Structures are given as C-alpha cells and as structure tokens.
Amino acid sequence: MELTQQQLVQWRREFHRFPETGWAEFWTTSRIADYLEQMGFEILLGNQIINRDFVRGRQQAVVEKGLANAVAYGAKQKWLEKMDGYTGCVAVLDSGKPGKTLALRFDIDCVNVMETKAPEHIPNKEDFASLNDGFMHACGHDGHITIGLGTALWLSQNKDKLSGKVKIVFQPAEEGVRGAAAIAASGVIDDADYFSASHIGFCADSGTVISNPKNFLSTTKIDIRYQGKPAHAGAAPHLGRNALLAAAHAVTQLHGISRHGEGMTRINVGVLKAGEGRNVIPSKAEIQLEVRGENKAVNQYMVDQVMRIANGIAVSFDVEYETEIMGEAVDMINDTELVGLVEEIVLAHPKVHSANANYAFNASEDATVLGRRVQEQGGKAIYFVLGADRTAGHHEAEFDFDEDQLMNGVNIYTALVQRLLG
C-alpha cells in the first residue's frame, strides 16, 4: 500500500459501496481490521473497547440483519469472533520510545437513507453507489474511515520518527450519538494525553478548516416504555390499566418542564406509539424523546426531570415502566493549545487557504464524549471541521463530497502526530 490520492479514493469508494448502520458495521470493521493488520497494527475489538453497560440505542434485530448481510458480503470470521456482536475497533501503534499518547477518532457508520438513482450522481456514474439497499454513506463517514486508514498507513511507515503511542479509534454508531459512550467507558483511551476528531463538510468548503467550532449541545436520547394491562373497553374498563393515557399525560408534562435559568435547554417528544385495538384498554406505550442543553449540567437537569415525570406518571396510572438511554453527547470546549496547533498546521498547508475559528456547530456529536473523557483525565482535546465541497446537504440522497480533500485530512492528522509525538 502506498499513501496516494488514488489509494484514498479506492478506500473511500470501497466503503461507500457497502454502508452499514450504527452497531451493524460488521463488514466495515472487518475490512478496516484487514488493512490495519497488513500495516502491522495491534487491533483491539469487542470487549477490549466496548463497555456493554454504556451501549446506547443498539437494536438486536438491526444487529442480526446487519450481521447476516455483512457475512454474505464477506466479513471475516476471525474478526467477527473477536467483535462478539459489537462493532468498531481501535488500532494501537507503540513507537517503543517513551512519550505522550495521542488518540484519534474516526466514525464508521452510515445513514438510513436510500441513495439517489440519478445518473449524474458520481457514485452512480463511476459505479460505487450503495449495494446495501436503504443505507447510504450520506454523512461522509466513508471519508472519515479513509482519512483514518491513510493516517494509519503513514504511521506504519514513519514509526521510527515518533515517540509515545497512537490509538486510532474507529467508532461505531455516531448517528444518533450512540457509540462513543461505550468506548469511553471501556477506558481504552484513558491514557491519552491528546485527543482529536473531526468532521468532513458541513458548512465548510474545500480548502478551509474550521479550527474551533463552538456550541456543541449536550444531549440525551431517552425512550420511556409503559406497560399496563388490557381489558374490555365496554364491559370492564376498570380492570385495565391504561398505558396510552399514561403516556399521553407524560408527553404534556414533559413539554412543561421548567426552563433552566443558567443555560439554553430543549425538549422534543418525537414519537408516541401506543395501543392495540379500538375496543381494548391500551396496555403498551412507548415515548421516544430527546433533551438538549447548552452544557452538561443543564442537560442533566432536563434528564433528571424526565426521569421524575416518567416515574410519577407510572405511579398515577398504576402502570409499570422502564426508561432506556438511547444516545448521548456532551458539550466540549476545544483546548487552546490544540486549536493553535491545528491553525499553524493548516495555514502552512498549500491546499488549505483559511482556518476559521468561529463557527457555531449548534448540533450534537458524540466525539465530545470521548474528548471530555480525555479532558477529565487531564488530557487535551480538539474537534475541527475539514472543509469539502458537497453536492447536497448531509443525510440527503444526493450527498457526495470532494474527494480531493481526503489527502488534506490525512496531512493534517499526520502533521498533528509529528508535532505532538515527533
């Protein structure tokens, strides 16, 4: 393997062709592991990188279907055994010399979007469109995998110039902010002195880098499930316990949570499913909601209120209930040392012409969970946006990005490695 634009494009297109949804990235993980093995990395999988108590929003039916598809597409048994049902991997490179540890994170999942059939769409024109119906790399994570592999390849060829250690995290299930918590809680990057992650595209065009995006919202995705008791709605309604009514009351109370005085908060109940039939007292209801907050503390306030209401309603309506956290991300403030370093690197790069520090992200990203974990252990973290021209918005069926920016991404990461571990 040689670190060339041609190699990067080949990787990007290979991963684009077989997109896999969060927690079902079995073929993707297997293929990444194949390449990392050829490069000579130590590869950590399954329990070595996942704390199952913190796995968010993993649906068994989706996992099983994904696994069957992945096996049919050629996922290797030896990697699947080590994954043990949990996707993603961490590549470790130890220089053998004492020094700092740097953790890099690249997300690997796709979006549940059907790719356009339009003939002018480049993946159709050049024959690398999704073969996995209903799924598409419509957020550019195929590019992230590629930048991660390119960085890994450079590392494997330049190991003798470095001190310390590099850990490259190929993270599952970023969509819905579900995958990072389990990796953070595994402790696999607790020894990191530095952490870096990035996203391709968004509002940044080719040749620009946003070195210090702000306003990452803390968020928690929660499901509340009520279990009542069915009964005849005419003859014996008093024998039933009404889960639908409980959930309906919960929804209005949830939207009535008092705002927090010390920071912006949001709540949205996006889904309410309940009931079995017109003449049956409904025995089941499920609420899918999310809260957001300007910071971790006000977001936690929202979570606490949600949990209190979920419980209070269950008492009022005499129904059973459970709650499940389906995803989470936190706010994160980039460390100035790393912002400065990325700006220096970017401005010295011939193909990048601007480093814009001021951009409000106003969304959530679970790389923040990993970055915050490193910061809480005394390390430093950065998240930046790598500009790339796009043909459509993220998560749209026509999404595609400028592949020429992949090498810029690799160059920024390898320069970062050299500056921190050189």
Binding-site residue ranges for Mn(2+): 139, 141, 175, 199, 395
What is the total count of residues that contact Zn ion (CB under 5 A)? 1
Q: What six digits make up the tokens of 31?
A: 């293929």
Shortest Å, Cβ 109 to Zn ion = 9
Shortest Å, Cβ 50 to Zn ion = 20
The smaller minimum CB distance to Zn ion, of residues 165 and 221, is found at: 221
Q: Is 329 in the site for Zn ion (CB under 5 A)?
A: no
> Which amino acids are annotated as binding site, given as ranges?
139, 141, 175, 199, 395
Q: Give the footprint of Zn ion on residues 116-175 (CB under 5 A).
A: 139
The smaller minimum CB distance to Zn ion, of residues 138 and 248, is found at: 138
Determine how many CB atoms are found less than 10 A away from the CB of residue 397.
15
The smaller minimum CB distance to Zn ion, of residues 144 and 292, is found at: 144
How far apart are the C-alpha atoms of 331 and 295, rounded to whole Å? 5
Q: Give the footprint of Zn ion on residues 84-113 (CB under 5 A).
A: none
Can you give the C-alpha Rg of the chain in angstroms? 23
Shortest Å, Cβ 111 to Zn ion = 8
What contacts 24+ positions apart, CB below 8 Å, involve 353-356? 353/207, 353/208, 354/207, 354/208, 354/209, 355/208, 355/209, 355/210, 355/211, 356/204, 356/208, 356/209, 356/210, 356/211
Nearest to Zn ion by Cβ — which residue? 139
Q: What is the DSSP string of 130-154?
A: -SSTT-B--SSHHHHHHHHHHHHHH
Shortest Å, Cβ 338 to Zn ion = 21
* 341 closest CA partner among 240, 230, 417: 417
* 198 closest CA partner among 9, 414, 387: 387
Q: What six digits make up the tokens of 278?
A: 């017109």
The smaller minimum CB distance to Zn ion, of residues 145 and 166, is found at: 145
H or E segment and range at residue 4: none
How far apart are the C-alpha atoms of 337 and 125, rounded to whole Å? 44
The smaller minimum CB distance to Zn ion, of residues 108 and 243, is found at: 108
How far apart are the C-alpha atoms of 66 and 87, rounded to whole Å? 11
The smaller minimum CB distance to Zn ion, of residues 108 and 139, is found at: 139
| The residue count for the chain | 422
Q: Is 207 within 8 Å of 141 (Cβ atoms)?
A: no
How far apart are the C-alpha atoms of 110 and 68, rounded to whole Å? 17
Q: Give the footprint of Zn ion on residues 233-292 (CB under 5 A).
A: none
Shortest Å, Cβ 385 to Zn ion = 11
The smaller minimum CB distance to Zn ion, of residues 193 and 290, is found at: 290
Shortest Å, Cβ 64 to Zn ion = 25
Shortest Å, Cβ 340 to Zn ion = 26
Binding residues for Zn ion (CB under 5 A): 139
